[in-house]
Amino acid sequence: NLPKLKHIIFPSTMRSFSSNTFNNCPNIETITLNPGFETFGGNSFNVEGDGKLIISDLSTYFNITWAAPNSFKNFFKACPYFYLKDGNGDLTEITTITIPQTKLTIPGAIFWKCKSISEVVFHPDIISIEMEAFAACVNLVIQNLNLPNLTTLGSGAFYNTKVQTVSALGSITSIPNSCFNNCAQLSSVTMPSSLTSIGSSAFKGCTSLPSINIPSGVTTIGEAAFQNCTALTSINIPSS
């Protein structure tokens, strides 16, 4: 409840802070993270904002332990623009995220609603993308989502992004609720043979998708899974 608070700089000596620390601080313009952080509390920045999240290196951000997915969500809710600060203090907007080779799981909502990101470079060893990891990254373009070793995909993971084709989703058994909801540029999806279910609204609003081939192992298709797919002319549904 500090309406005049505009700038937050966390020193490198600080390791953590508790949940709800900056609730209802509606005018935050910048949050600066220095190396050394370990844990952020949940629901820490529960405000809508238009500020900048500033870091000195991307590994600082990837190495943070978050109390809950809402920690990430509320972070970019307050500061949807992502910036890198160099040794001279100059800021450069981060538009490309390269997932570190050591990072096999992408945490839930880690980049939720980040407006800066236009490209993500995935590596083939990723095994899990958790709930809403890239949801509402409205400027994120993924020309081809190719994740051959994926085993888990969270709900809303790519909601309202610009995924264009999906060629490999590893051995996942479910395309969960709203996973590709409102991905209006999605024109081709290859579903893995391991798939057994397609969640509610999974492809809702994918207005560029002309056809779907559903694998023979699928036994459940959720409500509105293909609602408002206005270009869809063919769905191959197995007897299962």
User: Tens of pLDDT along 113-166?
Assistant: 999 999 999 999 999 999 999 999 999 999 999 999 999 999 999 999 999 999
Distance (Å, rounded) from C-alpha 26 to C-alpha 4? Answer: 8
SS3 content of the chain, % helix, strand, coil (to 5): 5, 25, 70
Q: With CA atoms as reference, report the closest residue to 78 among 104, 101, 112, 103.
A: 112
Q: Which residue has the tokens 């700089």?
A: 9
pTM of the model: 0.91
At residue 89 the predicted structure's pLDDT band, cuts being 50, 70 and 90, is confident
